Structure 1
Amino acid sequence: MSDDAVSDNGALEAVPPRALAARGAAWTLQRGPRRWRRYSPWMFYAFVSPWLLGFLALTAIPMFYALGMSFTNFDGLSGHWHWVGFANYNKAWHDQHFWSGLRTTAVYGVVTVPLSLAGGLGLAVLVNRRLRAVGVFRTIFYLPSVIPVVATTLMFKLLFDRNTGLLNTVLSWFGVGAVGWLSDPWAFKIMVLLALWGLGGGMVIFLAGLQGIPAELLEAATVDGAGAWQRFRRITLPILSPVVFFQFVFATIASLQTVVQPLLLSPAVNSGAGGGFTDPTHVQAGDYLYMVHVYAQFFDYQQYGYGAALLWILFVVILVITAAILRSSSFWVYYEVEQDGKAGRR
C-alpha cells in the first residue's frame, strides 16, 4: 500500500504507516461480515431438505402410520376395520410363535454377532501385514460381502439342498447318504454359516482402524519386551475399541432384523405346500426367526394390524438393547480425545 493518500482538496499528502494499517483493518472488519451476509441461514435447510423430506416420507410418516395401524384389525385389503386398542399386543403376549421366534432370534444374535466381530477382526489382523500380493487376499476376503444377500442365500441352498445339492452329491461318491442340511437340526447351523460368509465387510472397517494405530506405540512396547498377545490386548484392542463398539451395535441390529436368509433357505419354498412357505408348520424351527413371523402375518395371514404391532415391539427391543450397549460402552470403549471430562476414557 502506498504511503501517500489523496486529501479532500485533491492534493497528495503523506500518511503514516500505522494509520494505513488501521485503515486496512477497519476496511477488513467492515467488508468481512458483508461477504457472509449474502448467505441466508435458511441455506442450511435448503441443503438438508432432500434428506429431511426423504426421512419424513420414507421413515417418520410410515413409522407413525404403522403405530396407528397396530391398534386396529386392518387386513390390508378391505376398508372394514376398527379400533381394537391393545388387543394386538395382548395377542403377541399369548402367541407361542412370537416367543419361539424371539428366542431363536436371540440365540442367533448371541452366536453370530461375536463370531462375526471376531472373524472380521481376525481377517483384518491377517491382511494388515506387508506381504506380497496382500491386496489380492484383501479383495478375495471382501468380495463375498459385495454379493447381494439373495444371490448368496440361493447359492447356499444349491450347495446344501438335500436332493440336488453339491455337497450331498460329493458325499454320495463316498457312500454317504443324503443329509438334510436345510432341515432341523442342521438348519440353524447353516444359517449361522451363511451369516459368517460376509465377514469381509467388517474386515475392511477393522482394517481401517488397525492402520490408524500409531506404529510408535507398538514398537515401544516391543522394545519393552511385550509379546504379540500383550501388544494386541494392551494397545491394539483399547485403541480399536470405538471401531468394535460401532461394529457391535450395527451387527446386533442386523441380526435382529434378519429375514431374507431364513425365508429362502426353507425347504418349503419349492415344496408347493399350501399355506405359503412362511407358514409356521413349513419353516424349520431353527430358521423361524422373529422377522419371519412378522412376514407371515403380513403376507400369509393378511393381519396387518398384528404385524405392525410385532414390528413396534421389535423397535422397542432394538431401542432397549442399543441403549444398554451405549450405557455399557463407558466401561470398555476408550477414546484418544477427552470425553465428558475424562481423558482417554468415556
Structure 2
Amino acid sequence: MSAPATTAPAAAGAPPPVRRRGPFARSLHRRYVVTAYLFLLPAFAFFGLMFYLPIGNILANSFRTGPQADEYAGLDNYTRAFEDAAVRNSFTVTLVFGVATTVGAIVIGLALALLLNQKLRGRVVFRAALLVPYLTSVAIIGLLWRNILDPQLGVLNRVLADLGLPTQTWLNTHPLATIVGVTLWMTVGYTMVLFLAGLQGIPEEYHEAALVDGAGPWQRFWRITLPLLAPTTLFVSVMAVISGLQAFGQAYIITGGGPAGRTDLYIFHVFNVAFTSRDFGYASALSFLLFLVIVVATVVQLRAGRKGEVQY
C-alpha cells in the first residue's frame, strides 16, 4: 500500500499563500464599510451644514455688492480690500495682537505649568483658579475689565488713588497692550493645563538619567523637557494663532475699536462693514480673505512643527 501524500512544507522565507476572499467575506466587508459610513453620516451632515455650506455662501456673496449682496461685482470687493487703508490697519493691529497673545500664552502658560507641576501645597486650588477665567464668557470678562479700567469710575484707579499713586488711562494710552493683557489673563489657564498634561506625559526616567549624567536644571529643561513638549507647543500655538486672528469681543466690549482705530481688530472691522455700513458683499470678501490667512498660517505651523518633533 502506498503511503498517503503529504504537502511539502513551505520554504523558509517564502511568502504565505494568497487566500482569496469568497463572496461571503466580500459581502461582510461591504456591510462593515456601509455601517461605518452610516455612523459617520450625522458628523458629515453637521460639518456640511454648519461649516462648508456657510463658507460656500460667504464665497458666493464675496463676488456681489449692494445692501442685500444681490448685484454681481466680480473681483471688485477683493481689489477694494487690498486698497483699503482701514483694512490694512485692522489686519496689522490683529497681527500684532495675535503674535503677542500667542507668544505670551506659550511663555506664561509653560512657566505656570512648570511651577504647578511641582509638589506644592494647594497647587490644585491654584490650577482651578487660573482656569476659571477661560471658562467664563468673553462678554463677562470684557464688561468686568472695562469697569475695572474705567479712568473715572474704575476700581483700579480708586485703589491707586487710595495708595497715593498716580491714576491710569491705559484704555487711551496703551489700548492694544491692555486688551492683550486681558486676553492673556483669560487664556493662560487653558494653555497651562495643556502644558501640564504634556509635562506629566514625559517619563521621569529621562530626567533621572540626565541627572545621573550631571545635567543641571536648565540643561534638563532645554535638552529633554522642551523638545518632548513640541507636540503640545505646536497645538497651543496653532490654537492661539487661530483664536488671536478671530478675536472680537475684546475690541467690541472693552475699547470699541478705539482710540483712533488702535484696537480695530479685523473681525471687529468686518462686523462694522457688515452691520454698520450694510455692505455684506464686501464683508464677505474680507471674511474669506481671513479664512485663507488662517488656513495658510495653520498649514505652515503644522509643517514646521512636524519637522521639529523629537523622539527619544
TM-score by shorter chain over 0.5: yes
- TM-score when scaled to structure 1? 0.78
Q: 2:280 aligns with which of 304, 317, 321?
A: 304
- Give the corresponding residue for 1:323: 299
Q: 2:41 aligns with which of 42, 49, 52?
A: 49
TM-superposition CA deviations, 1:11-70 (whole Å, max 9, x none): xxxxxxxxxxxxxxxxxx99x969966954221122112211111111111111110100
Give, in angstroms, the shift of residue 135 of structure 1.
1.3
> C-alpha distance in 1, partners of 2:71/2:181?
44
Q: Is the counterpart of residue 60 in structure 1 residue 48 in structure 2?
A: no
Q: Is the counterpart of residue 332 in structure 1 residue 308 in structure 2?
A: yes
- What aligned pairs does 1:178-327 form with structure 2 within 5 A after superposition? 178-183=167-172, 185-197=173-185, 198-266=187-255, 284-327=260-303
Relative contact order higher in (CA < 8 Å, ≥ 6 apart)? 2
Q: Which moved more, 1:144-153 or 1:221-230?
A: 144-153
Letter in 1 for 2:182: L
Q: Which moved more, 1:38-47 or 1:100-109?
A: 38-47
Query: Which stretches in structure 2 are left out of the alignment for 5+ residues?
Result: 1-20
Off by >4 Å, runs of 4+ in structure 1: 32-40, 174-178
Bigger helix fraction: 2
Q: How many matched pairs? A: 290
> C-alpha distance in 2, partners of 1:83/1:260?
32
> C-alpha distance in 1, partners of 2:208/2:155?
49
- Give the corresponding residue for 1:169: 158
Letter in 1 for 2:179: M
Query: Which stretches in structure 1 are left out of the alignment for 5+ residues?
Result: 1-28, 267-276, 337-343
Give, in angstroms, the shift of residue 221 of structure 1.
0.5
Q: 2:114 aligns with which of 125, 148, 157?
A: 125
Q: Is the 8 A contact 1:117 1:244 kept in 2?
A: yes
Change (3 A) 1:95 1:216: same
- TM-score when scaled to structure 2? 0.86
- Give the corresponding residue for 2:65: 73
Change (3 A) 1:298 1:34: closer
Q: Is the 8 A contact 2:61 2:281 kept in 1?
A: yes
Letter in 1 for 2:194: I
> C-alpha distance in 1, partners of 2:97/2:30?
56
Q: Is the 8 A contact 2:142 2:254 kept in 1?
A: yes
> C-alpha distance in 1, partners of 2:135/2:107?
20
Report the structure number with the largest CA radius of gyration.
Answer: 1
Letter in 2 for 1:223: V
Q: Is the 8 A contact 2:175 2:259 kept in 1?
A: no
Q: 2:126 aligns with which of 117, 120, 137?
A: 137
- What aligned pairs does 1:138-153 form with structure 2 within 5 A after superposition? 138-153=127-142
